[in-house]
Copies of this chain bind each other. A is one copy, B any other.
Amino acid sequence: MNDRFRALVLALCLALLPAWALAEDGHELWLRYRPLTGAAQARLLAEAREVVPLAAPSPTLQAAVQELRRGIAGLAGREPALTSRLRAGALVLVTRSQAPPGLVLPWSELGAEGYVLRRVHLRGQAVTVIAANGDLGLLYGSFAWLRAVQTGAHPAHVDTQSAPRIGLRLLNHWDNLDRHVERGYAGASLWDWWKLPDILDPRYVDYARANASLGLNGAVLNNVNAKADSLTAPFIAKAAALAAVFRPYGVRVYLSARFSAPVELGGLPTADPLDPAVRAWWQVKADEIYRAMPDFGGFLVKANSEGQPGPQDYGRSHADGANMLAQALAPHGGVVLWRAFVYAADASDRAGQAFAEFQPLDGRFAPNVIVQVKNGPIDFQPREPFHPLFGAMPRTPLALELQITKEYLGFSTHLVHLGPLFQEVLRADTGQGGTVARVVDGTLHGQRVTAIAGVANTGADRNWCGSHFDQANWYAFGRLAWDPDQDARTVARDWVAQTFTAQPAARDAIVQMMLASREAVVDYMTPLGLHHLMATGHHHGPGPWVDDLARADWNPTYFHRAGRDGIGFDRTATGSNAVAQYAAPVAQRWADPRTTPPELLLWFHHLPWDYGMPSGRTLWAELIARYDRGVATVEDMARRWQALKPDVDAERHADVAAHLAVQLREARWWRDACIAYFQSVSGLPLPAGTRPPGLDLAAYKALHFGFAPGR
């Protein structure tokens, strides 16, 4: 059978296959490689007749070649041959050391992971090169080339140069060893710990492929609320089995380490980081881990936070604890990611505690310690101001921790695209001479070790993330981790083109929904800088009335402080003064309600209900208008999705529509319950024309539901 006939047959058969043979269950993520249109297929085939690797053989090179062949086979209907001869129309994978003479490329700008995609003439033949200094760059370049083709680029005109701006681009899995995922809304953990290391789910490869396609290069496998067991020999072997699967894709394994492991596993009387026996225990443990995984990434540590053990149990500082672990890892090149998410029961304003504990330690951390800071000072709310530590620790590498899983944003049921949220924090001006992105990528303070982390939303559900659109949050995190200056809209557009449709009008309509969705969730849950209004424990649904929890700062009433006199948390000098933790230009702007953007107003200020908003409305009316706007946006999203029915396959269209119906119902619930509650404390009538809540406040308070996922 000749090639042309094979191509024809493959193209035809994909069109003829019964629907069930290509279930649109989302499992393929953004690596679907569905056939292009006929003209685009011809263009692609002309530029990708053959794949020619000019690089030292390696599993990573093999992965790159395999992905290209798989992608081209799907997109063009013909699997390109693998050859060693350079002919016109070849796709050439080339490393600097194997580059033919005459191939002039900006090699030195590419670093260890960057790549160039370019059409060049090599030995007189017009070919496309995917060029890099090493095989991992070739893999990233291969995925980038496939993405370009999938998203509509003319394969003869692809001309891209890219290198990652942040060194460690990590997913953090809050996966327990029993396969339950804390704050997971996509089923059980991907890691089948019980069957590891013997039995390797093919999904592990697909997980690594998906990460590599975005440029993510590390995964912390287990929950930050860690069990010491994860550091025992059996679990090290299990982690090593995953590391072996991930290795060709450049994804290194990290582990969350329980600080008290020397006591629990080693039988030591203490985990004091200055105790020599403790230090020796960690050194031996680190050596053991590196014997199993020579490229082990390092430890992520949650210490002295929410009941986790830590150095403060022994009167030591976070720096003492982190540096001890860092010393054990340093000989092997590992890092410690030490989380700054801490809060103590006795502090006056939880928003200020991480800064108070960590900022004074600036300069006291070992060089291979990275302090990992959440995007905002509370906890992954729909909107927070950026964390005041960014910019305030110039002598310490700071990693940005984002939450991809939607703990507080409607689980995996609500369509909330997080690209704009991620972009907002990355672009926030710290007032210290640069944005958060410039802190995280190390350019502002000259850090060489740089990192960014996303709390994963993956699980064993067939679509990986619990819903189709939640895949886009994984995707957006990965793309922004590679290049934090990428525009969220561009990234969303690429994702839609790779998943739902590359047809421009439909693609852009979907992008529009996604971009609107983040402001919608802010509006229908926590508008105007409100935060932490959710119900207890499972964090699902509204609970602004909750005021009876053991700790003051677990209560929504602590955070909104609504009363007859007004609403909002005074974090200015007349209140907790947490605003003073920001650099002067920022602090000054946010200390005055008149210069605080409405989006953050009640985060920093307690204001009377009749406070005049820029819109001309009173604060009370504005609050209600924002809740209404949030619901209206979801209604609009549902309408837009209905209109997209002709453009999306039936299976995914129906699934998304079902999710949007739940979201709309729950957006109305949030709006109604919050308005009912705030009216009960403000005592004010609803503005004219406002639709009253559907039920009495008591009815909203009486709603209880067990068995919510992710606890």
Contact = CB atoms under 8 A, between A and B. Distances in A.
A17 B25 contact: no
Given A198-B661, A199-B655, A460-B187, A178 B9 contact: no
Contacts of A12: 9, 13
A193 interface: yes
Interface string A5-40: 010011011101110110101000000000000000
A234 B705 contact: yes
A535 interface: no
B658 A198 contact: yes
Interface residues of A, number: 53
A16 B18 contact: no
A79 B20 CA distance: 12
A79 B6 CA distance: 22
A306 interface: no
A462 B203 contact: yes
Contacts of A195: 413, 662
Interface in A457-473: 460-462
Interface in A203-254: 203, 227, 229, 234
Contact of A10 (B13, B200, B662): B13
A18 B659 CA distance: 33
B707 A178 contact: yes
B18 A79 contact: yes
Interface string A179-207: 11000010110001111001111110000
A395 interface: no
A73 interface: yes
Interface centre among A18, A198, A199, A462 (most CB of B within 10 A): A199
Contacts of A198: 658-659, 661-662
Contacts of A662: 195, 198-199
Contacts of A227: 706
Contacts of A708: 194
A199 B709 CA distance: 15
A16 B10 contact: yes
A651 interface: yes
A342 interface: no
A30 B23 CA distance: 17
B658 A199 contact: yes
A177 interface: yes
Contact of A23 (B16, B202, B460): B202
A188 B12 CA distance: 38
A445 interface: no
Nearest to A9: B12
A460 B25 CA distance: 14
A583 B414 CA distance: 62
A709 B9 contact: no
A669 to B, nearest CB: 13
Interface in A393-432: 411, 413
Given A20-B70, A177-B706, 12 more contacts: A9-B13, A13-B14, A13-B16, A18-B70, A177-B707, A179-B707, A185-B194, A194-B707, A195-B413, A199-B659, A200-B658, A460-B461
